[in-house]
Structure 1
Amino acid sequence: MSYSKKRIEYNNKWPDNVITFSGQQDFYKLLEEKKVENIFKPIILPNIEDEQFQRLLSFKIDIYEQLPYRPDIAFDLAWRTFEAYSSYFATRWNIVGMWKILNKVSEDILINQINKNLSLSEALKNLLNSVPLQATEFLVRRLFETTSLSLKPQKAQIIDRFKDSLGQDFFDCFKAKYGELNSENQRKAGMLLQIIISGKKISLEGKTFQFDTLQILKLIINGLLYTYRNERFHGDSFSPFKSSKTKIKTYAHSYFCLISTYFFIAQLIYKHFESEIDLNDMIKSLNDNTDRFNLVFKNQLKK
């Protein structure tokens, strides 16, 4: 049966007979094989009565009801929480525009906390070393593809955010090397971004580049995550798990976006309530999320 017919059948038979698509079945089997009930688990929180925090927490706990099977929707809810929490801190800044606010969060909060604590810095490295190729190839496609008319209004913004993260010079070299998009270029460009995100030095078009942690944070947040959020918000793609293209690596992409966003949410919670949060416990929890992610998806990171 074609997937178009299967989606119609799903609609017509729900809720009496819920159909499971083949990609979903493969993921359920993988969780059973790895003996993992949930890849994602939240950090432990003390009893905080602050009204603003409780409002944001109400968004955050909605994440859990989508797991383990819908990490894409869980990501949507996590991103909503991250934006709302970032906007709370932005009330003290004279900045307009969400991606500018997120830049300021990276510059004034995230990088400072990471630089002050070696264990937190190592936890971030652990996360960044786990970025799947599916995720970096996604960003490459959105930078250079020309076929999707619905994405054209967003493309200029994606390029602007990418340049803001890694600079005009790198973008020019990156485009010169990989801008003529085909499957081989897309894969090679995605692999290069994986290397960059891991913090290693690279050579491209006769030039050498190495990016610092702040630049990589901006690339992850305003490049990868923000682009994924916008595409989902504007309905520019199929549901990732109701498609013939659904693979285990599709889940890896969504889960990486989820645990990355949650990593940054946790830093904002700690910034807000530093005296009440045990940083070591928080770091352990974030590392555990990354470790479970790698346990389940280790064979998908280069696919």
Structure 2
Amino acid sequence: MQERDRLLIEEQFAERVARAESRFFVPLPLAFSDDPWYNTQVSFLLEALDALPRRPDIAFDSVWKVLEKSADAWAPARAGRRLTITDALGHLSADPRLSGPVAEALLGDVPSQTCGYLFKRLISRNPPASSERAVKRLMNGYGAGDALPAEIKAFLALVEKKYAASDTDTARRGAALIRRALTGETLDIEGTRVALSLPARIRILLCGLLYTARNERYHGESFSPFYSSAASIKTYTHPHYLFLVAYALVHLLWGHGGHAYAPALDAVEENTVVNLREARALYARHWTG
């Protein structure tokens, strides 16, 4: 079967990758192990690498499978009820072992395209069905004393009040504010000072962003990103970031797991910083513009 001709944006992206002073992505070394579960997950990591650099969206799909299995292994067991991935991610977001340098690095460099996506889903509520599910996941409590839903709800209400208009400029400014909030910056929104805690930001990252993007792709609710006349170099930043987040979190979970194949936590942190830097070098102004 003959390979189809590349679309213009695909050609432009390939040319950018070829001439950029960027390694695109630097994988962490994989340890040898005869553990069947681990080797199954490695197969999907290799599948993800095969999709790069042309299809970071497909790479994200593959790594998500590993993240889902890894999160499920972390979640507390419940007698008489199978724990859903929604529950697993909710519990994971509040686990203090995630609240460290890797999460801070990921949240400190979110592309503007991704913040625009979050603004549409959580503030503009578009598309309605997917947005409703995303907000509901953020409003759910996971375990006794889970204060994150109230914190996130109050923040979203402030943003929605300030950026209620549906025009493009308002959406752009609202997305920029979400980007600042995800870094942990203290913001003044209509006279109210607010700074999201790291666990709240991690929950938005896991339950509001990654899981929503995965569901929309899996259920065919979102347009395959690079087959649109509106696609641009900036379009690539969003799935690239999703892939980087999922990849980093997988290795962070493994690093805390205590298994023989677990990577060193400082290596995961360094790798995350390197891959974010390589992405910025590749996309330049398209990452934050």
State the partner residue of 2:7.
21
SS at match of 2:42: helix
Query: Which of 76, 79, 84 is equivalent to 1:97?
Result: 84
Unmatched segments (≥5 aa) in structure 2: 140-148
**1:290 lines up with 2:276 in the alignment:** yes
Is residue 113–residue 234 contact of structure 2 (8 Å, CA) maintained in 1? yes
- What letter corresponds to residue 134 of structure 1 in structure 2? Q
Q: Distance in 2 between matches of 1:125 and 1:169?
A: 22
Query: Which of 63, 77, 93 is equivalent to 1:106?
Result: 93
- What letter corresponds to residue 224 of structure 2 in structure 1? S
Give a deviation string over 1:236-258, Cα, whole Å, max 9, x none: 22211111111111111111111
Q: CA deviation at 1:137?
A: 0.6
Q: Distance in 1 between matches of 2:246 and 2:150?
A: 17
State the partner residue of 1:88.
73
Percent identity between the aligned chains? Answer: 24
Unmatched segments (≥5 aa) in structure 1: 1-14, 116-120
Q: CA deviation at 1:91?
A: 5.8
State the partner residue of 2:250.
265
- What letter corresponds to residue 278 of structure 2 in structure 1? R
Aligned residue pairs: how many?
A: 277
SS at match of 2:83: coil
Query: Which of 130, 152, 167 is equivalent to 1:154?
Result: 130
**1:226 lines up with 2:211 in the alignment:** yes
Is residue 237–residue 286 contact of structure 2 (8 Å, CA) maintained in 1? yes
158 and 62 in structure 1: CA distance in 2 versus 1, 3 angstrom threshold: same
Which has the larger displacement, 155-164 or 89-98? 89-98
Q: CA deviation at 1:188?
A: 0.8
- What letter corresponds to residue 204 of structure 1 in structure 2? I
Please show how residues 41-120 of structure 1 align to structure 2 within 5 Å.
41-90=26-75, 92=77, 96-108=83-95, 111-112=96-97, 114-115=99-100
Q: Distance in 2 between matches of 1:182 and 1:264?
A: 35
State the partner residue of 1:136.
115
Q: CA deviation at 1:77?
A: 0.9
**1:207 lines up with 2:192 in the alignment:** yes
Q: Distance in 2 between matches of 1:295 and 1:217?
A: 25
**1:249 lines up with 2:215 in the alignment:** no
Q: Distance in 1 between matches of 2:31 and 2:75?
A: 24
Which has the larger displacement, 83-92 or 244-253? 83-92
TM-score by length of 1: 0.84
- What letter corresponds to residue 14 of structure 2 in structure 1? Y
State the partner residue of 1:4.
none
SS at match of 1:301: helix
Q: Distance in 2 between matches of 1:195 and 1:50?
A: 41
Query: Which of 212, 221, 224 is equivalent to 1:239?
Result: 224
87 and 175 in structure 1: CA distance in 2 versus 1, 3 angstrom threshold: same
Q: Distance in 1 between matches of 2:202 and 2:196?
A: 10
SS at match of 1:199: coil
Is residue 166–residue 219 contact of structure 1 (8 Å, CA) maintained in 2? no
Q: Distance in 1 between matches of 2:265 and 2:256?
A: 10
- What letter corresponds to residue 28 of structure 1 in structure 2? A
